[in-house]
Structure 1
Amino acid sequence: MARITKGILGPVNGKVGTVVGSNWRGIDYIRSKSGPRKGQATLAQLDQQMRFTLMTGFLQSVKGMVQVGFQKAAQKQTALNAALSYNLKNGTSGLYPNIGLQYNMLLLSRGDLPNAQNVGAIAGTTGKVNFIWTNNGSTGKAKDDDIALITVYCPDTLHAIYTVNGPARSAEQAVMDVSQFSGKTVETWIGFMSADGKEIANSLYTGQVTVL
């Protein structure tokens, strides 16, 4: 028997016929019930399992960001599940066992708000990463007071530092204190959200930076 804890659209815990509801690292999902396993897992199964494990681990490190960034893209599912679904399809590369995250293809926010132009990230003073962009607050739905969504992820430590309350689009720059990543190479992204939180831009990958 399964339990639905938050109504018909809430997470399912347990079995309903051939469907199993479960939770992995805070992400609710459903899958087909497995039949009796005969022998070892196939390469295809191992490949799928490795991609899932890599992606759920990464999304846990940026959970607060994607909960905001995918809130509009989530349809009858949580923002975290929407992020998992998109990034599993688009954000990994390679074949088992040499599978990795394809950072330039990952999205941490998803929507149709225009992003800023000429975005970039560079090493600043010790322990800092500087983000720069060109304000385009008069383009479509974009406004000068849109809020920057900024993420810095360190593959070596599997940790991220991010803000969902960055400077306004009109500021054209932001400085992130990531001193705990000093001496390491990090992956970076920027996106924007309207001041009222109703509009979101697709995040943009701003490249690798070696933190001083």
Structure 2
Amino acid sequence: MAVINQGILGGFSGKVGTVIGGSWKGIDYMRSKPISVANPRTPAQVDQRTKFVTVLNFLQPLTSILRTGFKDYAVKMSAFNAAMSYTIQNAISGIYPEYGITYADALVSRGSLTGALNPSVLVTTPGLIDFSWVDNSGTGTALATDKAMLVIYNSAKKQAVTINGGNTRASGSQEVMVPTTFTGDELNCYIAFQNENQSEVSNSTYLGEVVAL
């Protein structure tokens, strides 16, 4: 049974025949009831699910930073789902069933703010990852007060260390501590910037792979 909350012209929640109604983020919607399929595991469906799981495993440890990094693309979907869509379309490698992520093509932040200039990452001290960049304040939309967004992703363990709102653009560097369990693992690193009130973000830049000491 469906319930009409705002009269005959309003949206409804529940089921009427083969139509299901509901609301998400204040938007009323209707969709048809799924048709029963005798064999839901067609090759195309299995292929798409495998891609989905591959991307999900990559992005789940990055959820907190994706909420900021992809918020501009959270239109009728969550920021996480926007990141999922981008990654599936742009950063999947391999063929079924051996899919992987092309880390250089992935984004952890997507926006119009001026990004990092000549960023790099270095490991010289056990347990620390050193990020550095050139202060490009005043170029494009870059401001000295912009804050770094840093990601260190451990593909072997499917874990990540993320910094959302780190050192300022003017500071030019930041050290990030990683767990001792990361020692000897290959780590994929990214940098982006957000402005002071988090209303704008830059595209992230992939800095390559380092090995934790």
What is the alpha-carbon distance in structure 2 between the residues aligned to residue 194 and residue 151 of structure 1? 17
RMSD of aligned residue pairs (Cα, Å): 1.9
- CA distance in 2 between partners of 1:117 and 1:39 (Å): 48
* Residue aligning to 2:66: 66
Q: Aligned partners of 1:145 and 1:197: how far apart in 2?
A: 11
Identity %: 32
Q: Is the 8 A contact 1:47 1:95 kept in 2?
A: no
Aligned pairs for 1:57-206 (under 5 A) are 57-180=57-180, 181-206=182-207
Q: Secondary structure at the match of 2:85?
A: helix
Separation in structure 1 between the aligned mates of residue 77 and residue 192 of structure 2, nearest angstrom? 22
Distance 2:199 2:40 in 1: 50
Aligned-pair CA distance for 1:122: 1.4
**CA deviations over 1:139-159 (Å, ceiling 9, x no partner):** 111001100000001011111
Deviation for aligned residue 1:34 = 5.7
Match of residue 8 from structure 2: none
The equivalent residue for 2:3 is none
Q: Conserved in 2, the CA contact under 8 Å of 1:46 and 1:96? A: no
Verify the 8 A CA contact 2:165 2:194 in the aligned structure 1.
no
Q: Does 1:7 align with 2:41?
A: no
Deviation, structure 1 residue 72:
1.7
SS of alignment partner, residue 62 of structure 1: helix
Residues 74 and 38 of structure 1: is their aligned pair in 2 closer, same or farther, counting only changes over 3 Å?
A: closer
Does the CA-based 8 Å contact 1:126-1:179 persist in structure 2? no
Alignment deviations for residues 41-74 of structure 1 (CA, whole Å, 9 cap, x no partner): 31x3222111101112221110001001111222
1:100-146 per-residue CA deviation (whole Å, 9 max, x = no partner) reads 01111111111011112111111130011111111101111100110
- Aligned partner of 2:51 in structure 1 is 51
Question: 2:114·2:141 contact (CA, 8 Å) conserved in 1?
Answer: yes
Between 135-144 and 33-42, the greater mean CA deviation after superposition: 33-42
Give the superposition deviation at 1:76: 2.5
TM-score, normalized by length of structure 2? Answer: 0.84
Counterparts of 2:35 and 2:120, CA distance in 1: 46
The alpha-carbon distance between structure 1 residues 71 and 5, as it changes in their structure 2 partners (threshold 3 A), is: closer
Instruction: Count the aligned residue pairs.
Output: 193
Aligned mates of 1:77, 1:70 — CA distance in 2: 11
Kindly state the Cα deviation for residue 172 of structure 1 after the two structures are TM-superposed: 0.8
Paired letter, 2:31: V
Q: Retained in 1: the 8 A contact 2:116–2:205?
A: no
Where in structure 1 are there 5+ consecutive unaligned residues?
19-32
Amino acid at match of 1:160: A
AA matched with 1:185: E
Q: Extract unaligned runs of 5+ from structure 2.
A: 1-14
Instruction: Provide the rounded CA distance (Å) in 2 between the counterparts of 1:107 and 1:159.
Output: 17
CA distance in 2, matches of 1:162, 1:36: 42
Q: Mark the structure with the bigger radius of gyration.
A: 2
1:38 aligns with 2:32: no
